[in-house]
Structure 1
Amino acid sequence: MFLSLAAFVGECLELFINVVLARELGDEAFGMYMAILPTMLFVVVLANMELPVSISKLIAEQEPNYHWSVLIHALKLATVCAATVMLLAVWILPMLPVFDDYHTGIQWLMILLVPVISFSAVVKGYLIGAQKTGMIAIANVLKRTCQLLGLLFVFSFFSWESDTAIFMALLALKLSELLVLTYLVTVFIINMRRIKKAKSSTMPWAEARKKLLAVSVPTTGLRVFHSATFAIKPFLITWALGNAGMIESIALVEYGKLAGIAFTIGFFPAFIAHALLIVLIPIVADSYEKKDFRTLHHYLKLSILVTIVYGAPVILAFYAFSDTITNLFFEESTASAYLTILVPYFLFHYFAIPLQAYLIGIGLVRDAFIHSLYSTIISFILMLYLGSLPSLQMDGIILGMNMGAVLLTLMHYVTICEKLGLNVMLGRKNGALPS
């Protein structure tokens, strides 16, 4: 509940951040900002290496006397990952044509962001695994607060050209991450001193590396796939809309409203889903390690119930008050229509996030990746076909996205039920044993 409350504050701040960006950058620059953001997130995913997931899972499974050894090995792995990703970024980013229309400093922002993300991931992984999520919650609120204050300062006292304004907006994001790292490192040092003083046992480097990579590699593959498709999506959408007869500049503006407004509003309530994900991974991993299927069944039912309780009224509010909500960003914006049609997309994503935590916790990351692959392929095919129809355009794009979200959630759900010996109504199958 505390994590959800802090996440709610963070999401409120994120909403204000996007309101400021939408109003200060203008339609076209805001669309450019939203188009380059997936590329930055892709670099972040590579730097992160999903270490928070793998470290939290390993910490939850190990006795406290092994925590110090796990942390030392995790820091070594994070250093290797950061150095590798930075070298790749220095080599590849200058060759990407996507940066041609942007400020040259944006590439260096992405490169310098890598070590910040890598070492923050280690701290977050330990805190999640040790169930000290309150500090994670504080870090998330601190990040959003600093980013919002930075944007207000930049745009209140200075006037920039569009490319420089986008650079300054991304710089505010980078500086907020740096401040969060400073806070997390301080917390980390305090906890590491306490752990080091206690009696500790050593886990061999080969064993720790194997266990960390066994989760990090497939989970990173899943996140890389998501980030890559997210980075491709703006270009796919503008291409499909171009086939439908829409001018490229207008298509970019419409994508900015879709991603920057409709998505921001629709994913706002997902802070509860992400809080569930953070809490569920160590619980599910520990329970599955002990073969405690009663606990696994209980938390699966509870997470679905919580999602229904908050998801249903939220979706009804989006449907009934879309105009009022989207007018926070732009007056008479087409984003209100997008928000209404995206209702299934958001609702099924609220369910998919805690279900993905279950798949990770019980060691089915490969299944999660396959589900994402199938649902994304089908979604992209529908987006290209329906979005290219002059009669549908952006509505066709959204219909394709809806289908992908529904398919992904259903595949996650059926796989978990099969693994835990449950039927689709979450009752035990007659005579069935969990696999």
Structure 2
Amino acid sequence: MYMAILPTILFVVVLSNIELPVSISKLIAEKEPTYHWSVLKHALKLASLWAVVMMFIASWILPLLPVFHTYHVGIQWMLLLLIPIITFSAVVKGYLIGAQKTTKIAIANLMKRSLQLVGLLIVFQLFSFDSDVAIFMALLALKLSELLVLGYLMVVFIFNIKKIKSVKQTTLTGKEVRQKLLAVSIPTTGLRIFHSASFAIKPFLITWALGNAGMIESIAVVEYGKLAGIAFTVGFFPAFIAHALLIVLIPIVADAYERKDFATLHHYLKLSMIVTVFYGAPVVLMFYAFAEPITNLFFEASSAHIYLQILVPYFIFQYFATPLQAYLIGIGLVKDAFIHSLYSTSISFVLMIVLGSMQSLQMDGIILGMNMGAVLLTLLHYVTICKKTRIKRYDGTPRSAAFVKVESRMNNR
């Protein structure tokens, strides 16, 4: 039952924060501290307006969705009240990330996960609930953890704001701030929605392709469950490191690109790739070598371990793609990131249909199509970054303006 309502919850969360942590952190990193309070005032006004609009829309639409008709009535109210908490948390997180207070964000994330886990353990160990009440209690634990984390972040936020306001501030117009925030937030939110939509389409596409290969629909659904529920769960467990890199890199890249400091951009690009290799390579090798005992923890004697082994290229390239996406956001190429995702997902879906429909490949063909999509996405990100940051070769050698002119003259001869 929880899996049926999960896409709606995730969709509400994505729309509620409209990627304000990304857009605010980028703008804060680009501006001097004398502009920070002005940016935050306008960001808070925008967040307040958006929270009101989202709550109005949600209060109208949520009761109409059939998926909620079989659940506890309090679940809709929980989602509704979660909206302003998520929106204002997004503003605070965006400022702290942009001001490079990432330790505070790490503490907040650890607090949230710990509070959710402790809350769920207390509720379900001490009490016994029906399934609909259990989901309500799970959402209540989520809401309370978000509320407590927001309280912690607000204390840190107010402390930093007092320090900022002690320095003479420069005023920015509300229109300028809104334009810059929405220029990043809208395409980034679109990117998140696209990823969510493509993820929602995958089970139907995969079962259809496997049906073309002669597999019974009920078996195809089970095989997809092994792929998404076991192989993906295991493979994406280390992805929190890639997400941490994304959070750290966006303000650094935005600040360096604003100053046209290409040496710093090259340095952090190399560093992020090295970090990804150091954690990603051992992890995927472990997945490949110990796939069977790892997947047997979830589902004994299944084909999930084979899927995990074939998915190794998919996971390692996804680990690389995340920090590269941070670079694209930092240098203002969010639209390029969206186009890359559109291209790679489209080609991946075509390959999944073609290869998955072959009786000789079936699920192996599905996974090969996914692998190709991940490889293409990473390469598109990397090539675009190299062009934008004047990196000539894969080793990170920069192309200076003088070198570009000389090279151009030689090519014209």
Q: 2:370, 2:147 → 1: CA distance?
A: 34
Aligned to 2:410: none
- Aligned equivalent of 1:427, options 383, 397, 403: 397
Q: Which has the larger radius of gyration?
A: 2
Amino acid at match of 2:2: Y
Q: Does 1:149 align with 2:127?
A: no
Q: Which amino acid aligns with 1:321?
A: F
Which of 24, 29, 44 is the aligned partner of 1:60? 29
- Shift in Å, 1:114: 1.4
User: What is the correspondence of 1:232-311 to structure 2 with a 5 Å cutoff?
Assistant: 232-241=201-210, 244-248=214-218, 253-311=222-280
RMSD of aligned residue pairs (Cα, Å):
2.6
Which of these residues, 95, 102, 105, is aligned with residue 126 of structure 1? 95
CA shift at 1:215, angstroms?
1.4
Q: TM-score, normalised by structure 2?
A: 0.88
> Counterpart of 1:125 in 2: which secondary structure?
helix
Distance in 2 between the 1:329 and 1:94 partners?
35
CA distance in structure 1 between the partners assigned to 2:63 and 2:348 by the alignment: 31
Which moves more between the two structures, 219-228 or 306-315?
A: 219-228
Q: Does 1:190 align with 2:159?
A: yes
SS at match of 2:404: coil
Which residue number corresponds to residue 174 of structure 1? 143
Alignment partners' CA distance in 1, 2:73 and 2:376: 40
CA distance in 2 between counterparts of 1:55 and 1:34 reads 32
Aligned letter for 2:313? P
1:78 aligns with 2:47: yes
Structure 1 residues 175 and 324: alpha-carbon distance in aligned structure 2, compared to 1, 3 A threshold: farther
Give unpaired runs (5+ residues) of structure 2: 406-413
Which amino acid in structure 2 is aligned with residue 89 of structure 1? A
Cα deviation digits, residues 207-253 of structure 1 (max 9, x gap): 111221121122222122122222333444455556654445x6555
Paired residue total: 402
Matched residue of 1:432: which SS? helix
1:415 aligns with 2:387: no
Higher relative contact order (CA 8 A, sep 6+): 1
Q: Name the CA shift for 1:429/1:270 in 2 (closer, same or farther; >3 Å).
A: same
Q: How far, CA to CA, are the matches of 2:59 and 2:222 in structure 1?
A: 30
Q: Matched residues in 1 for 2:321 and 2:204: separation? A: 25
Q: Give SS of 1:201's match.
A: coil
Return the offset for 1:106. 3.9
Give the aligned partner of residue 322 of structure 1: 291
Sort the Cα spacing of 1:119 and 1:286 in 2 relative to 1 into closer, same or farther, 3 A.
Answer: same
AA aligned opposite 2:387? E
Taking a change above 3 Å as real, the CA distance of residues 396 and 102 of structure 1, as seen in their structure-2 partners, is: farther
CA contact (8 A) 1:34 1:260 kept: no
Q: C-alpha separation between the residues in 1 aligned to 2:260 and 2:272? A: 19
3-state SS of paired residue (2:238): helix
TM-score of the two chains, using structure 1 as the length reference? 0.84
More off after superposition, 386-395 vs 367-376: 386-395
Give the stretch that moved more between structures: 181-190 or 307-316. Answer: 181-190
Corresponding residue of 2:409: none
1:11-90 counterparts in 2 under 5 A? 32-90=1-59
